[in-house]
Structure 1
């Protein structure tokens, strides 16, 4: 009993991951920090609902409605909704109006409700309509490319497109990677060195802030309920 997760990667440059889950016998879970925003669709007590869930800069406890199904699209860094400044939903969310089992209201129009299998088709339609765009500077930097802009200008692109500074994104991604490696059995000493933490206390503070678990808890309780804690991909940040 608990929260059952299924997730997959995506070939779309706009999408980081697609996931779905179902709650059963769990009333709270740890929501770990993430630099990405999500479009989340769920059904609760027979009512379809949807929300834009913003990036989270620290771990927190989140309520879990009973017997509820969830589906989410986690968007790639740099993917934005021009009509919704991402800074408005950092550490928060925006529930969307007029949601049914067949459609949702987004940027002044109705759209067919997406699901786990057709997420990329839904995203392509949003892109064609200009509802969803990418910041090409952010995308290029994350792919390891170079841009003819100052460091300050690049950072402004990151804040505008992600709601976060590149340093905060780096810290979040590193903590998620550390947590994943600890769950896989890596030693604290090895990953402290390999991931560039100063020492064990530095690692401990990072895990506490971003994951909400200590290293010991992650190693002893590998099945503990935390939100979508998968291995993050390495990002090339300025």
Structure 2
């Protein structure tokens, strides 16, 4: 577990085709963070003394400051690209979210049913149940594009299906994931000029604009730790090849 910048964060990949990442964190001595752009839908649980809350969080089209409640734990399931809840269209979730009702210490309500609250170690079993009950699904066209499979549909169809499941165009998804990858490389010490070449940016000003829009940081700021304003979860990923 890594403790840094006002947040303790732990995350892991998943072998479920419906799950991109499982994560948990705890806030301390911080009241805001930079929420970086994110093409994924998430189911997020958080709580402190006396109350637990649950929300479905939509993709974020650009970076922005977000409040962080003090002394609060968080747990999230980040769904893979193309995975969506049919009852909650992407257009209702983009750059926002919907808080779920009827939450107790052990249960919460989703899609008209009551569910036991999952944990960091059993997230995939919970997701499997959502899939079996038809609450969660994955668009095969988007999944094929993400997995670099040959597509037998038109580019227009791919664009339409990305919009339906993420609220974003394939180009926007690619740009967001590339910016996230660029930020990770810079934070690891890779020079910006090398990042430009590796990830196919036109030049350094192009990289700078992308980082500002999607990460909310310059390359120089990414190399410094700001304990008063941490970044939301970042990890290595690859843009969809055929989107």
Q: What is the alpha-carbon distance in structure 1 between the residues aligned to residue 50 and residue 64 of structure 2? A: 27
Q: How far apart are residue 235 of structure 1 and its match?
A: 2.2
Task: Summarize deviations over 1:54-101 as a string: whole Å, max 9, x none.
Answer: 100111111000110000000000001011101111000100000111
SS in 2 for 1:189: helix
Does residue 113 (structure 1) correspond to residue 126 (structure 2)? The answer is no
SS in 2 for 1:157: helix
- The aligned residue for residue 230 of structure 1 is 235
1:3-152 → structure 2 map (5 Å cutoff): 3-152=7-156
Q: What is the alpha-carbon distance in structure 1 between the residues aligned to residue 39 and residue 173 of structure 2? A: 6
Q: What is the alpha-carbon distance in structure 1 between the residues aligned to residue 29 and residue 180 of structure 2? A: 26
Q: What is the alpha-carbon distance in structure 2 between the residues aligned to residue 205 and residue 46 of structure 1? A: 43
SS in 1 for 2:194: helix
Q: What is the alpha-carbon distance in structure 1 between the residues aligned to residue 14 and residue 226 of structure 2? A: 25
Kindly report the root-mean-square deviation, in angstroms, between the aligned alpha carbons of the 2 structures: 1.3
Confirm or deny: 8 A CA contact 1:183 1:222 kept in the other structure.
no
The unaligned stretches of length 5 or more in structure 1 are: none
1:194 corresponds, among 181, 191, 198, to 198
Q: What is the alpha-carbon distance in structure 1 between the residues aligned to residue 40 and residue 76 of structure 2? A: 12
Q: What is the alpha-carbon distance in structure 1 between the residues aligned to residue 38 and residue 242 of structure 2? A: 15
Confirm or deny: 8 A CA contact 1:137 1:157 kept in the other structure.
yes
The TM-score normalised by the length of structure 1 is: 0.97
Q: More relative contact order in 1 or in 2 (CA 8 Å, sep 6+)?
A: 2
The unaligned stretches of length 5 or more in structure 2 are: none
Q: What is the alpha-carbon distance in structure 1 between the residues aligned to residue 196 and residue 242 of structure 2? A: 20
Confirm or deny: 8 A CA contact 2:39 2:81 kept in the other structure.
yes
